[in-house]
Amino acid sequence: MIPGVTKSNSGIDDISWNILGQTYVPKLKSKNSMAWHATLPKGTFVPPHIHPTQDEFIYVLEGRFDLLLNGVETYAEPGDTIRLPMGIPHGIFNKTDTTIKCLFWVAPTRRLYDLFWALHNLGPEPNPADVVAISAKHEVDFLPPDED
């Protein structure tokens, strides 16, 4: 990690990823941790998945998250911190009419930085099967959809 300040309106090396219709801007990357600012427009989500090798956290800045955490529905609002321990299935959803802004971080970084580059390069409307396959190669496992 290089010491310094990542300014509020930019990311590391001016990177901005489009991940499943959401904007992720990396703020910190080291072997031990990675953090990114995320903007989730209304109606966007990350389907239920597991990080088998990372703990994940989200600090909500604006908006309301609806969550599925280990099979239990809950929510988080501005000022709340969401804890997503490794191995625990979770999904995040913006079911509101407003944009969510938050700070995500994981520990350790593992392959997540490379995953975001791979997903960003799929384009604005990636094939879900490609997202699942690429994610699995980068230590993020999406769960099969409910049969309902």
Round the average pLDDT of the chain to a whole number and report it. 94
How high is the pLDDT of residue 2? 81
Residue-by-residue DSSP string for 6-75? --TT--GGG--EEETTEEEEEEEE-SS-EEEEEEE-TT-EEEEEE-TT-EEEEEEEES-EEEEETTEEEE
Nearest Cα to Cα of residue 5 among 24, 23, 28:
28
Residue 144, pLDDT score: 85
Integer Cα distance of 107 and 54 in angstroms: 5
Give domain limits for the chain: 16-140
- The low-confidence residues of the chain, meaning pLDDT below 70, are 147-148
Task: Assess contact for 17 and 39: CB atoms under 8 A.
Answer: no
pTM: 0.93
Domain 16-140, CATH class in plain words:
mainly beta
pLDDT at 147: 63
The pLDDT, as a whole number, for residue 84 is 97
| Burial environment of residue 43 by CB neighbours within 10 A (0 to 12, 13 to 18, 19 or more) | exposed
pLDDT, residue 138, reads 97
Sign of CA dihedral 28, 132, 18, 58: negative
Residue 148: predicted pLDDT = 59
